[in-house]
Structure 1
Amino acid sequence: MNTNHFRLTTPKSKALGYTIYEMVVTVSIIGILVAAALPIVYSSVLVHNQDATVLQLKALVKFAQEEAVRGSGASLVICAAEYDTNNGTNSYLNGCASGNSWSEGILTYVDLNSNGSYNSTERLKALRFDGGATVSAATSPGGTALNRLTVLPNGLLTDASNNEAWTFTISQSKFGQTQSVTLLLNNYGYFCVQSYTGQNNGSTALC
């Protein structure tokens, strides 16, 4: 009798894990996705910083108008603020900036002695801009740079030349991108977006 011997064999198990080729492809795909997403993330950061500065600016103007209306008849001043930094950490308010840059912040005070100068006993509110943006203001039309506005007892805004409108430009250049917005402010304290570069997130209406 012929007997056949059968050898039981088991299939070779498939090797688990990634080959170097598969790993390189995976890392490359991840790199492409990250590179595509970074500009969107950077743009969102710039828009957020810009919007934070815009909201601070609008809030202080509104506050100054309300204080002027319910005050004792003295005019209020809104000016570009100037800060001193001690040891790179603590910031101290000097007062109104001597130049025309509003980048450090904004200050409002009641001019009790009507001398047009700030002293610490007159301060009502000061805000430091945190977004790292460059902020400037100018008359509109004309484009003459300025560093202060006056709030009359009736809440209306004016300046030394009795203008009735001004522009505030807030700009940032980071991560290879530029984000800027120019706001038009009228003497009633109303802001609108005159122009912008990059994105406008809609927090302020277009003019």
Structure 2
Amino acid sequence: MRLSKGFTLVELMVTLAVLAIFLSIAVPSFAEFIRSNRAESQRAAVISSLGLARSEAIRRGTLVRLSPLTGTSWSDGWRIWVDSNGNGSYDSGEAIKEFAAFTGGNTLSSSVSPIIFSSQGYQSGVVFGSTTTLQFRVGASYCPLERDITINHLGRVSTQKRTCT
């Protein structure tokens, strides 16, 4: 009788079949985990950039702006900047920090641009009691991950889950 070392073809096929079944269950869950994690980190980047702009306005004692990198599309990235020459538009060298565009098809939109914080940390140019809202959207059938990011006239930021229909 010969002593064999290694695996038989049948053992190898059974192992591959079990692995295939396991992966077919795990991969969709992992994709959802990645989408959820990406959405959370992008939301956190927006909220932290609003906090940075507000704290820089207080620290510098001047107006600090937060605006899209290009036109009105917040999803393409945004920057925090100080209008050092007072012309009301961004010029080279005025940036405090720039944030990259979103990935994964997520979007950020707002009807307000730029968002301006005063030296007291209040939102400048808005009526007392009003708010500015940024809509963070993830895409079709992922409504539970979407949020409305609201800045009140005092400069405080809050988030609310989007109402799914």
Deviation (angstroms), 1:104: 2.4
Secondary structure of the structure 1 residue equivalent to 2:116: strand
Report the RMSD for the aligned CA atoms in angstroms: 3.0
Letter in 2 for 1:155: G
| Residue type of the alignment partner of 1:57 | V
Which residue number corresponds to residue 79 of structure 1? 67
Write the letter of the residue equivalent to 1:61.
L
Partner of 2:40: 51
1:18 and 2:4 correspond: no
Q: Is residue 130 of structure 2 the alignment partner of residue 166 of structure 1? A: no
| CA 1:151–1:71: 2 relative to 1, 3 Å | same
Match of 2:77 in 1: 105
CA-to-partner distance for each residue in 1:8-38, whole Å, 9 max, x for gaps? xxxx678774353x44333222111101000
Map 1:128-143 onto structure 2 (within 5 A). 128-129=100-101, 131-138=103-110
Structure 1 runs (4+) greater than 3 angstroms displaced? 12-17, 22-25, 129-133, 158-163, 177-180
Partner of 1:7 in structure 2? none
Q: Are 1:190 and 2:157 counterparts?
A: yes
Per the TM alignment, residue 46 of structure 1 is displaced from its structure 2 partner at its CA by: 1.4
* 1:14–1:172 CA distance, 2 compared to 1 (3 A): farther
In the TM superposition, 1:27-46 aligns within 5 A as 27-46=16-35
How far apart are 1:123 and its partner, in Å? 1.5
For residues 108 and 36 of structure 2, the distance between their equivalents in structure 1, rounded to whole angstroms, comes to 18
Q: How many residues align?
A: 159
TM-score (norm 2): 0.77
* Partner SS state of residue 46, structure 2: helix
How far apart are 1:52 and its partner, in Å?
2.0
Residues 64 and 76 of structure 1 are in contact (CA less than 8 Å); yes or no, is this contact kept in structure 2?
Answer: yes
| CA 133–157 in structure 1, closer or farther in 2 if over 3 Å, else same | farther
Q: State the alpha-carbon separation in 1 of the partners of residues 53 and 81 from structure 2.
A: 8
Does the 8 Å contact 1:75/1:150 carry over to 2?
yes
Any conservation in 2 of the 1:103–1:133 contact (CA below 8 Å)?
no
By percentage of residues, which structure has more helix?
2
Which has the higher Rg, Structure 1 or Structure 2? Answer: 1
**Helix, strand or coil: the match of 1:54?**
helix
Q: What is the aligned partner in structure 2 of residue 9 from structure 1?
A: none
- Distance in structure 2 (CA, Å) of the matches to 1:27 and 1:56: 42
Flag structure 1 segments of 5+ consecutive residues without an equivalent. 1-11, 82-96, 139-144, 198-207
Structure in which a larger fraction of residues adopt strand: 1
| TM-score, normalised relative to structure 1 | 0.63
Contact map agreement 1:102 1:134 (CA 8 A) in 2: no
Cα separation, 1, equivalents of 2:127 and 2:67 = 15
Query: Cα distance 1:136–1:19, how it changes in 2: closer, same or farther (>3 A)?
Result: closer
